[in-house]
Amino acid sequence: MSDSGVTKSAVKRLSWLGAVIAILAGLIGLGSATGAGASFTPKLALDLQGGTSIILAPLLADGEKVTDEQLAQAVSIIRQRVDASGVSEASVKTSGDSNITVEIPGTPDENTLKLIRSSARLEFRPVLVTSQGVSTSVGATDGSSASPSPSASAEAAPSASPTDASDVAWITPELQATYDALDCSSAFREAGQVDDPAQPLITCDTTGYQKFILGPVEIDGSTVSDSTAGTVTTSTGATTNTWAVNLEFDAEGTKQFAAVTERLFPLTEPRNQFAITLDGYVITAPSTNAVISNGSAQITGSFNSETAKSLSDQLKYGALPISFEVQSQENISATLGSEQLASGLLAGAIGLLLVIIYSIFQYRGLAVVTVGSLAVAALVVYLLIALLSWRQGYRLSLAGVAGLIVAIGITADSFIVYFERVRDEIRDGRSIAAAVDAGWKRAQRTILVSGSVSLLAAVVLYLLTVGNVRGFAYTLGLTTLIDLGIAILFTHPILQLLVKTKFFSSGSPWSGFDAKALGASGYVGRGQFRTAAVVPATKVAKASKEANKRQTIAERKAAELGAIKSGETK
C-alpha cells in the first residue's frame, strides 16, 4: 500500500473511533438535556452508595418449618425478580434461620418494591362471579382460538356439594353477602394473609376496580416454567402491533391447564374465565378462547409494552415455595463509602503510573502511544458505563472498579506484543514504516487470542457466579472488548501516522526504534537499512543472538528445521 493509502486508512479508522465517542457522548448529553434520566456520572452500587434494606420473614403455620431447599429457592426467585426490574448489583441473601434480606442500591422505585413485597404463592383460580366484563383472553400461542359452543350449558343452580372448582354451588348466601359488601377502595386484607387453597376466595384486582368470587386453587404458580412479553404473530407469520403475554407450563402444569381449559371453554362469562392471583389479589383474569393441551398459552388484551412486561415478570417470578411478609424496611448507608472508593482509584492510578514508567523506560517515545491508547480506552469505558447506568440500570461497585484496574494490565499487554513485533521486524532489516505494518500483521493474531481468553474467562465468571463477582466479570469483559477495539482503531493507525514524523522515522535513540540498540544490521539512518552490505561477524552474531531471544518456541523450531533442510540440499 502506498504512503498516501496508509495515511488515508489510518485517518479513516481514527475518524470511526472519534465518531463512536461523539455518539456515546451525544446520547448521554441528549438524555440529560431532555430530562430522560441520563447523566455523565455513573450510578454507584450498594457498597459505594448505600440504599434500601428489606427483611422478609416467612409466614408459617404452627409447627411448620422452612427447609434449606425452600429458602434457597426463594432467594433465587427473589433475585430473579430484582434483576428483572432492571436493578443491578443488588444483594439477596438469607438472614438467620429463615429470613431473607434484600439490599437494593439507591432508592428503588415502587414497582421494584412491590415485586419484592409480593411474596405469596402465585395461584390460578376459576372465576365464579365478577363485577365487570372481561377485558383479556387466553388462547393457543399459534394464534388459534374458538368461540363458546352454542350448546354450552347454562350456569348451574346452587347445590349442596360442588362438583368442580367452577360450580356456583360454592357461593353460599353468606359468601354472596360478603361479596356484595366488599369495597375494593378500602383495605380488606391483612398484610401477609394466607388463603385456604381449597376454599373459594373473595378479592379484588390490583387496581381496586374489579371484585371477584373465585373458586378453589386448581393450578399452582410454581408450574409456570416461563413467561415472555411480545407482539402477536398471525398464522401467516406476520407480526402485529398487539402486545401479548406468552405463558409456558411444565409437564404437571400442562396437564392441569389442559383439564381446566377443557372445562372452562364451553362455559359463558364470567365462568369461562380463570383468575391469576398474587398475594391474594387478581393480577389478570382472561377468558378461555380454546382448549389448550400443549402447555403454551397466550394472554391478549389491552396491553402495551410496559404492562405486558410487568404481567410477564409477575407470572415468571411470582411463585415462591413459601409466603413472606415484609418484617422491616430501612435506608442503609454505604458499607464501603467514599474512602474505600478513593483507595481503589488510588490503586488504579498507581498501576497506571507504573505502566507508563515501564513504557517510557522500555520503549522511549512509544510511551506516547501507550498513554494515548490508555486515555482513549478510559474515555470510552467511562462513557459506556454512564450509558449503561442510564439505559440498563447498571451500577458500578468496588468489584467493578477492580475489574477496570485489572483491565489496565490487559490493555498494556496488547501494546507490548505489538511494539515487540515491530522491533523484531526492524531487527530483520525492514524500514520502520514497513516494520509497523508487518509487526501489526504478526501481533494482531496474538492480541485477538489473548483478548478472547480474557473475554471467555469474564463470560464464565458472569454466568456461573452472583453478586459482586458478576460486577467484576462484567467490567472485565467490557474493557477487554474495548481494548481490542482501541488496538485496531487507535493504537495501530496512530503509530502508522507517527512513523511518518521526523522523530520516529529517523530512528532516534529516544524514539523506541533505535536500530543500533535493537541489534539490526546495516542501519544507514532515516529508517533505512543496507541489505547487501557486509556486516562484521561479531555484529551479525550479536544481532542473531538478540533475534533468537525474541523468537517464540515455534519460530525457533521452524528456523532450526529450515537450517537442517538447507544443509541437506547443499
The whole-number average pLDDT for the span 383-410 is 86
| Maximum Cα interatomic distance, the chain, rounded to a whole number of Å | 115
Q: In the chain, what are the domains?
A: 46-115 (3.30.70.3400), 120-319 (3.30.1360.200), 336-535 (1.20.1640.10)
**Mean per-residue pLDDT, 145-164:** 51
What are the φ/ψ torsions at residue 148 (nearest 5 degrees)? Answer: -55, 140
Report how far apart, in Å, the C-alpha atoms of 141 and of each of 137, 206, 294, 295, 522 are.
Answer: 12, 26, 10, 10, 76
Nearest-angstrom CA–CA distance, 19 and 269: 59
C-alpha cell at 199: 376454599
What is the average pLDDT value for the chain, to the nearest integer?
A: 81
Residues 359-370: tens digit of each pLDDT: 888 888 888 998
- Looking at the whole model, is its pTM more than 0.85? no
Q: Which three cell numbers stand for residue 129?
A: 362471579
| Paired strand residues for 122 | 278
CA–CA separation, 261 and 287 (whole Å): 10
pLDDT at 567: 59
C-alpha grid cell, residue 160: 349442596
Give residue for cell 483478548: 451
Selection from 322, 325, 378 nearest residue 348 by Cα = 378
Cβ 120 vs Cβ 278: under 8 Å: yes
**Residue with more model confidence, 232 or 1:** 232
* Weakest mean pLDDT among 242-256, 261-275, 326-340, 426-440: 326-340
Cβ 35 vs Cβ 305: under 8 Å: no
196-225 burial code (b ≥16 CB/10 A, e <16): eeeebbbbbbbeeebbbbbbbbbbbbbbbe
Name every residue whose Cβ is closer than 8 Å to that of residue 525 and which is 6 or more positions away in sequence: 506, 507
For residue 244 the three cell numbers come to 401479548
Using CA atoms, how far apart are residues 453 and 104, in angstroms rounded to an integer? 33
Confidence tier at 385 by pLDDT (50, 70, 90):
very high
Q: If DSSP codes are grouped into helix, strand and coil, which group holds residue 310?
A: helix
- Which pLDDT score, from 0 to 100, does residue 165 have? 92
Q: What 3-state class would DSSP assign to 140?
A: strand
Backbone angles phi, psi at 337, to 5 degrees: 80, 180
Helix (H, G, I), strand (E, B) or coil at 41: coil
Q: What is the pLDDT of residues 189-248, one digit of tens each?
A: 875 577 889 999 999 998 888 999 999 999 988 888 888 888 888 777 777 888 889 989
Higher pLDDT, 550 or 30: 30
Give dist(CA 484, CA 497) in Å, integer.
19
Smallest Cα–Cα separation from 519: which of 390, 392, 428, 388?
428
Mean pLDDT of 293-313: 86
What CA–CA distance (Å, rounded) separates 65 from 319? 19
pLDDT surpassing 80 at residue 507 = no
CB neighbours of residue 563 within 10 Å: 10
Q: Is 282 helix (H, G, I), strand (E, B) or coil?
A: strand
| Contact (Cβ atoms closer than 8 angstroms) between residue 228 and residue 245 | yes
pLDDT of residue 36: 84
As a whole number of angstroms, the distance between CA 201 and CA 216 comes to 7
pLDDT tens digits along 445-487: 999 998 999 999 999 998 888 767 888 999 999 999 999 999 9
Q: Is the peptide bond before 270 cis (omega within 30 degrees of 0)?
A: yes
**Residue 12 in this model has a pLDDT that exceeds 70:** yes
What's the pLDDT at 203?
Answer: 94
3-state class (DSSP) for residue 278: strand
Q: Is 461 exposed, middle or buried (0-12, 13-18, 19+ CB in 10 A)?
A: middle
